[in-house]
Amino acid sequence: MDPVLIGEILAALMFVGVIGVLLLGFPVAFSLAGVSLFFALGGWLLGVFDPSNFGALASRYVGFMTNEVLVAVPLFIFMGVMLERSGVAEQLLRTMGKVFGSMPGGLGISVIVVGALLAASTGVVGATVVTMGLISLPAMLKAGYNPRLACGVICASGTLGQIIPPSTVMIFMGDMLAGINAQVQMAKGNFSPTPVSVGDLFAGSVFPSLVLIALYLVYMVCKAIFDPRSCPATPPTAEEKASLLKDVTSSLIPPLALMVAVLGSILGGIATPTEAASVGAVGAILLVLVKGKLNFTMLRQTCISTATITSMVFVLLLGAAVFSVVFRMLGGDDLVHEMLSNLPGGAMGALIIVMLVMFVLGFILDTFELIFIIIPITAPTLLHMGVDPVWLGVLVGVNLQTSFMTPPFGFSLIYLRGVAPGHIRTSEMYRGSLPFVGLQLVAIGFVLAFPALATWLPKYIYS
């Protein structure tokens, strides 16, 4: 049999094998590396894989560890964990509830607004969903909200941290797409390619984020108009009205100031994402200090949480590097290139198929798993076909949000299940998330149909 065909068959089986092992519940990083090594051994025995290819892994690992862009990841995680422990979320939720509570659907609108603000200042999906679940869900149920609607809006708002900058997923995607784009452009003979940066992806995700937030708000307004019984009003008391202006000022200014300092410095070209992340980390510490909640125990717990989350992500990255090397050396890249290039519709047809595959895989894989597996496999071909790297990165970012909302492994649903009252069935939570998954798909459709939503602002800022 043709060695090239044998390698491509092994590459396809390896991809399926990784998905199968993950479904069995094995740790992701070790699944990626372990299955890849197993197929590398098979390829070596069949004469289609050279073990010397693993020599490239050492330099790749050192590259990960010394990459200044990726330093922003632990800093943003630290900022998010610190703010989550500062009580900013609780104060925002209660204040926004007073502002919008007097209108039908007001509590739902307040959850969406707070979710967007927390995403722009923390980006920690799990903490946001848990916090809103603990505070908003009981209030919404007490006000007479339909449990499905309440659960759906909390889960959807919590996932905004995946697309609204500063998103740690966007940092990894920006770094990967920058390297892939440079390789593709050089292969085409362009030895001075236009660089792609994390700042480009942050800027590119601004308008799609606003579109998604607008879709959520429109949905809540429509529910309030056509089905007011599912989201009744909760008018504030006279005492709450009297202190409303003071509460809004004290709860909004700190996160908004931090958001402007971090995102404004990046989008304004004043600081790199890593420099802005350090400003955000220091700003979070100062915010907690001003609130009088900073102590050694809290700082220690925040550092431990940051180290744990960062280590998990980077170990996953190392496992994905093994998968990427073996898949490429077995000829998987050529197989994917052939498949995508021969699809009807050219680059747009290939892009739609990749988005569809990511959506389906989102039912069983986490966001980091998806980008570390799918981006290295499909991005080279898509960029070679002329797809803009920023457009691709933003599309993937919006698509990744659906993975948090789709059963059986939708992590927003799992987080909310852990804090929701026992009388709310898991099936109700799943059904409540479906309209918002649909809205996320509509947002993907908008970005697909109008690429300028993702590409205009980066070009305007950085050109």
- Label residue 292 left, alpha or beta by phi (over 0 means left) and psi (-120 to 50 means alpha): left
pLDDT the model gives residue 123: 63
pLDDT the model gives residue 122: 63
- Label residue 269 left, alpha or beta by phi (over 0 means left) and psi (-120 to 50 means alpha): left
Rounded CA separation 434/455 (Å) = 29
- Nearest to residue 197, comparing CAs of 216, 211, 181? 181
DSSP string, 170-209: HHHHHHHHHHHHHHHHHHTT-SSPPP--HHHHHHHTHHHH
Query: How many CB atoms neighbour CB 60 within 10 A?
Result: 15
178's tokens: 């920058």
Rounded CA separation 161/286 (Å) = 22
pLDDT the model gives residue 410: 77
DSSP 237: P
- Nearest to residue 369, comparing CAs of 57, 27, 17? 27
DSSP string, 293-342: ---HHHHHHHHHHHHHHHHHHHHHHHHHHHHHHHHHHTTHHHHHHHHHHT
361's tokens: 């895989």
- Nearest to residue 365, comparing CAs of 320, 334, 321? 320
Rounded CA separation 339/459 (Å) = 31
- Label residue 87 left, alpha or beta by phi (over 0 means left) and psi (-120 to 50 means alpha): left
What distances in angstroms separate CA 20 from CA 14, 29, 356, 358, 361, one per listed residue? 10, 14, 19, 16, 12
DSSP string, 220-236: HHHHHHH-GGGS---PP
- Nearest to residue 118, comparing CAs of 147, 87, 150? 87
> What global pTM score does this model have?
0.87
**Angle made by CA atoms 19, 35, 53, in degrees to the nearest 5:** 125
What distances in angstroms separate CA 331 from CA 4, 50, 323, 324, 375, one per listed residue? 7, 12, 12, 11, 16
Q: Is 10 exposed, middle or buried (0-12, 13-18, 19+ CB in 10 A)?
A: buried
Q: Is residue 31 part of a domain?
A: no
pLDDT the model gives residue 191: 65
What distances in angstroms separate CA 273 from CA 76, 104, 173, 367, 408, one per listed residue? 9, 40, 13, 21, 34
Q: Is residue 37 part of a domain?
A: no
pLDDT the model gives residue 193: 67
User: How many domains does the chain contain in total?
Assistant: 1
Measured in residues, the chain has a length of 463
pLDDT the model gives residue 241: 67
Q: Is residue 105 part of a domain?
A: yes
What distances in angstroms separate CA 46 from CA 1, 39, 42, 437, one per listed residue? 11, 10, 6, 44
pLDDT the model gives residue 311: 86
Q: Is residue 36 part of a domain?
A: no
Q: Show the low-confidence residues of the chain (pLDDT under 70).
A: 1, 121-124, 126-127, 191-194, 238-243, 463
pLDDT the model gives residue 169: 84
Rounded CA separation 265/267 (Å) = 6
Q: Is residue 441 part of a domain?
A: yes
299's tokens: 């700082």
pLDDT the model gives residue 279: 87
Range of the domain at 140: 57-462
Q: Is residue 218 part of a domain?
A: yes
132's tokens: 């809103």
Q: Is residue 35 part of a domain?
A: no
Q: Is residue 20 part of a domain?
A: no
pLDDT the model gives residue 306: 87
